[in-house]
Structure 1
Amino acid sequence: MIYSDKQYTISEAQLVRLRDALAAAESEAEDTAADQRWLRHAQTDAIRSQIATLEAELSHYDLLKSGEITFAKSHSLENLPSVLVQARIAAGMSQTDLAERLGMKAQQIQRYEASEYSGASFSRLIDVCEALNVHATGLFERDDMSKGAVFSWSDVDDVVWKQLPAREMARRGWFDVPRKGDVHQLARKYFMQAAGAQFASAYHRKKMHGSSMPNEYALLAWQARILERARAIVETHNPPNFVADDRWVADLIALTRRRDGPKRAQALLLSKGIILVTEKHLSGTYLDGGAMLDRNSRPVIGLTLRFDRLDNFWFVLLHELGHVFLHLMDGLRYDFFDEEETSGNDKVEREADEFALDSLIPEAKWDECLSRFALSEEAVRIDAKNLGIDASIIAGRIRKERGDYTILNGLIGQGQVASQFEDDGDELV
């Protein structure tokens, strides 16, 4: 983790050197004898891994310092040192700033953070927590930002497996529990097989955007289920590799006019190398959707359909698709989880929102929609026909922008989505 602007500058210089080293290694590999190329490839793979790690840490520091990450949270004392560092950076404070607030020398804060606060007394930890607005729950928050959270375990050994919603996972049939079987051990085994240790590590930070604080262990379990089902689809259908070219999104929007559009969207995404899975959210979470990369770096979108409406389906799908095109492939190492009704100034979520809105209805076209003012079903249908989209999309956007969810109820496609995915575990159309 990067702790200061000085370390950031050093890391940037190191990244330049690593990129130069990679270019040189790749050039040398071309002139290497065939029986020695495996060694060169191993060297270049190791350098690429170091580059990816540095790029992720630099991006994470940028987001923290700019205030784009609104708060972080941890439920274990082992993670408190990381929470304190992230809280300091997100508050726009340097190590010197924090030291001055505590009446200490900057070098002492540097030593604390370098040693993960191992030498700090309990009373000193309380002082630091108070200075950074980190509470007993492990929470730090910026009052001027929208709600959101980042969950991160240093590695799989930091996970408190007994906090997984094991009994609910078993009730849903995710794994069998033999007589006298330890349901918590079985839940852990399920997670390791369905997702893998890397999904409970800093390699996969969980970025939650929502107005409700979720249970991060329920989040972890839901993600494992999504990844398990996505892997089954890949093994059955062998989809092509994903290419970050969004020119086909217009074909996706055209499907909104079809009665079976949501199910057809799943097949279209599959043909483009993106796996779409629907899975009911777990107790303790308030999810609408999530976007992540599987263990083979293939984009996976999960939807909960907790609001069984067409307007919600299409906006959430396009929002998660925005994360795929804009954020998943940039090395930031975030898995994105979203609650659709939330709004705010979070940069990455704002970008995903803009991608969804502009894809569904370009801003210039939206300005021409008379239904925004007429607020009648007939006006909405006329605008929808002119734009070549389903009326639910216009109705949903009007309701959200006005903050009035009592209008245009007959156009939002209530109860028209979930039934299309009742056989989601079967063959795709």
Structure 2
Amino acid sequence: MDHIKVIKSEQGHEQALARLMSLMDADPAPGSREGDELDVLAFLIERYEQEQFPMDTPDPIEAIKFRMEQQGLRNKDLVPYFGSASKASDVLNGKRKLSLNMIRKLTTGLGIPAEVLIRDPVQQLANESEVDWQAFPLSDMRKRGYFEGFTGTLQELREYAAEKVSKLLSSVPSGFDLQPAMLRSTAHLRSNDKKTDPYALWAWQVRVLQKAQEEQLPTNYEKGTVDREWMQKLSQLSWSEQGPRLAIEYLNRSGIHLVVEQHLSKTYLDGAVCVNANGNPIIALTLRYDKLDNFWFTLMHELAHIALHLDGTETWFIDDLDAVGEDKKEIEADALAQEALIPREVWSNCHFFGPDSVRALAQSLNISPCIIAGRLRHESDNHRLFGGLFREKIKGALRDYV
């Protein structure tokens, strides 16, 4: 024991092996001097061999072929694992990448360990996540360009859904934290009686974060910047035909992202707001209704959440503004949004007799008449009011953002 040294050379390795064999022949008692020496030598030899002769993980395709040879399988026997004879041939010839879906079938059916077949870090991440990858609205996501660089068919996307969606989720710091199981604790969801698809909402949230991440702001947000006075100044940009674009610049100069991202099917969204890892608010608008007044009210509503509620205890506010409810925070946000656009004392003293009175009030407040007409239609529940007047669209003004 006094002369045992760390093995550093081939000669030392051979000497240690010879001594190990000698001790094993002697079969020393556990705990004896020779028994302890045997244990130490075995440990040192193993460590040296691991460093000098590392065992590579078998190539996935070679592992499949080896198991086929063991079990006497032909290419056609792999159809249940790959989906078709042509896919089986492509995989075995290295022309098609193994999908996580295939890997799981091979692990279950042929007993090949997943760690042998998985080489892609994205696949490893997807394999460790208990997510139903097929539950995402893959067709809509593909059409909207959620999967950058993917040009395959919907069928191919379904085969590689775990990889493609996992890559999307991992593209932003908190992508996996938005999963449906955590939605109740990480988001304040204002919705109507229609059932929201949680996977569509999850994908949309990640897409919003992804777009904001790609945008460089000139400054960081200072808490307390957004208040009623700040919002009123912003609302006065609506008087200009370029108002929506000017609003985005106004927000950016204060460290606030504005992302336009169309809602996915079964999400019924108008807007949302959250704070990114840098502390900068992100406002997302879907422009679900192509109306200028809807743009301004939704924007003000999300800004009201920043002013009143984004204190770190709520990660997201997600809004369907058609929903009617008694949620205190939503009532507060609606009230501040209305106050910023048209002060309460002004509105209560107004009497409208036609388009001219709408224009006069708009001019006095320096805001778009569409905002006033939109509120009148909403409160009177008469969406035919003023006929074709005051019905400017928003998507044309933001065509570069849609």
**Normalising by structure 2, what TM-score?**
0.61
Aligned 8 A contact 1:208 1:338 in 2: yes
Distance 1:320 1:241 in 2: 15
Distance 1:193 1:409, change over 3 A: farther
Distance 2:268 2:171 in 1: 25
Residue 360 of structure 2 is aligned to residue 382 of structure 1: yes
Residue 252 of structure 2 is aligned to residue 270 of structure 1: yes
Once the two structures are superposed, what CA deviation does each residue of 1:223-243 show, in whole Å capped at 9, x if it has no partner? Answer: 111111111113xx4432333
2:345 aligns with: 364
State the 1:406 CA deviation.
1.3
Specify which of 380, 391, 397 is matched with residue 369 of structure 2. 391
Residue 386 of structure 2 is aligned to residue 413 of structure 1: no
Once the two structures are superposed, what CA deviation does each residue of 1:130-179 show, in whole Å capped at 9, x if it has no partner? Answer: xxxxxxxxxxxxxxxxxxxxxxxxxx945433211122212222213365
Summarize the alignment of residues 173-188 of structure 1 with structure 2, pairs less than 5 Å apart.
173-175=145-147, 176-177=149-150, 180=156, 182-185=159-162, 186-188=164-166
Aligned 8 A contact 1:322 1:352 in 2: yes
Q: Secondary structure at the match of 2:388?
A: helix
2:211 aligns with: 229
State the 1:291 CA deviation.
0.9
Residue 289 of structure 2 is aligned to residue 307 of structure 1: yes
Distance 1:183 1:412, change over 3 A: farther
Residue 221 of structure 2 is aligned to residue 244 of structure 1: no
Q: Secondary structure at the match of 2:313?
A: coil
- Percent sequence identity over aligned pairs: 35
Q: Secondary structure at the match of 1:410?
A: coil
1:166 aligns with: 138
Distance 1:386 1:241, change over 3 A: closer
Distance 1:309 1:178, change over 3 A: closer
Aligned 8 A contact 2:221 2:281 in 1: no
Distance 1:408 1:199, change over 3 A: same
Distance 1:334 1:402 in 2: 35
Highest Rg: 1 or 2?
2
Summarize the alignment of residues 111-126 of structure 1 with structure 2, pairs less than 5 Å apart.
none
Name the amino acid aligned to 1:355: L
Once the two structures are superposed, what CA deviation does each residue of 1:104-150 show, in whole Å capped at 9, x if it has no partner? Answer: xxxxxxxxxxxxxxxxxxxxxxxxxxxxxxxxxxxxxxxxxxxxxxx
Q: Secondary structure at the match of 2:383?
A: coil
Distance 1:205 1:157 in 2: 21
Specify which of 280, 283, 288 is matched with residue 262 of structure 2. 280
Distance 1:244 1:160, change over 3 A: farther
Distance 2:160 2:373 in 1: 45
Residue 394 of structure 2 is aligned to residue 422 of structure 1: no
Name the amino acid aligned to 1:241: Y
Query: How many residues are aligned here?
Result: 263
Distance 1:241 1:377, change over 3 A: same
State the 1:414 CA deviation.
3.2
Once the two structures are superposed, what CA deviation does each residue of 1:23-55 show, in whole Å capped at 9, x if it has no partner? Answer: xxxxxxxxxxxxxxxxxxxxxxxxxxxxxxxxx
Residue 175 of structure 2 is aligned to residue 196 of structure 1: yes
Once the two structures are superposed, what CA deviation does each residue of 1:155-212 show, in whole Å capped at 9, x if it has no partner? Answer: x945433211122212222213365563422022212214522333466235233343
State the 1:288 CA deviation.
0.9
Summarize the alignment of residues 308-327 of structure 1 with structure 2, pairs less than 5 Å apart.
308-327=290-309
Distance 1:265 1:273, change over 3 A: same
State the 1:395 CA deviation.
0.6
Distance 2:287 2:387 in 1: 18
Distance 1:230 1:345, change over 3 A: same
Aligned 8 A contact 2:190 2:323 in 1: no
Aligned 8 A contact 2:236 2:365 in 1: no
Aligned 8 A contact 2:263 2:286 in 1: yes
Distance 2:262 2:374 in 1: 22
State the 1:339 CA deviation.
1.6
Distance 1:344 1:192, change over 3 A: same
Distance 2:246 2:350 in 1: 27
Aligned 8 A contact 1:243 1:272 in 2: no
Distance 1:398 1:319 in 2: 18
Q: Secondary structure at the match of 1:233?
A: coil
Distance 2:131 2:171 in 1: 16
Unaligned runs of 5+ residues in structure 1 are 1-155
Distance 2:387 2:244 in 1: 20
Aligned 8 A contact 2:293 2:370 in 1: yes
Distance 1:390 1:369 in 2: 16
Aligned 8 A contact 1:309 1:412 in 2: no
Distance 2:348 2:130 in 1: 50
Unaligned runs of 5+ residues in structure 2 are 1-127
Distance 2:131 2:308 in 1: 29
Q: How big is the alpha-carbon RMSD for the aligned residues of Structure 1 and Structure 2? A: 2.1
Aligned 8 A contact 2:272 2:316 in 1: yes
Residue 279 of structure 2 is aligned to residue 297 of structure 1: yes
Aligned 8 A contact 2:221 2:279 in 1: no
Distance 1:168 1:424, change over 3 A: same
Distance 1:197 1:338 in 2: 21
Distance 1:275 1:242 in 2: 13
Bigger mean CA offset, 278-287 vs 340-349: 340-349
1:354 aligns with: 335
2:189 aligns with: 207
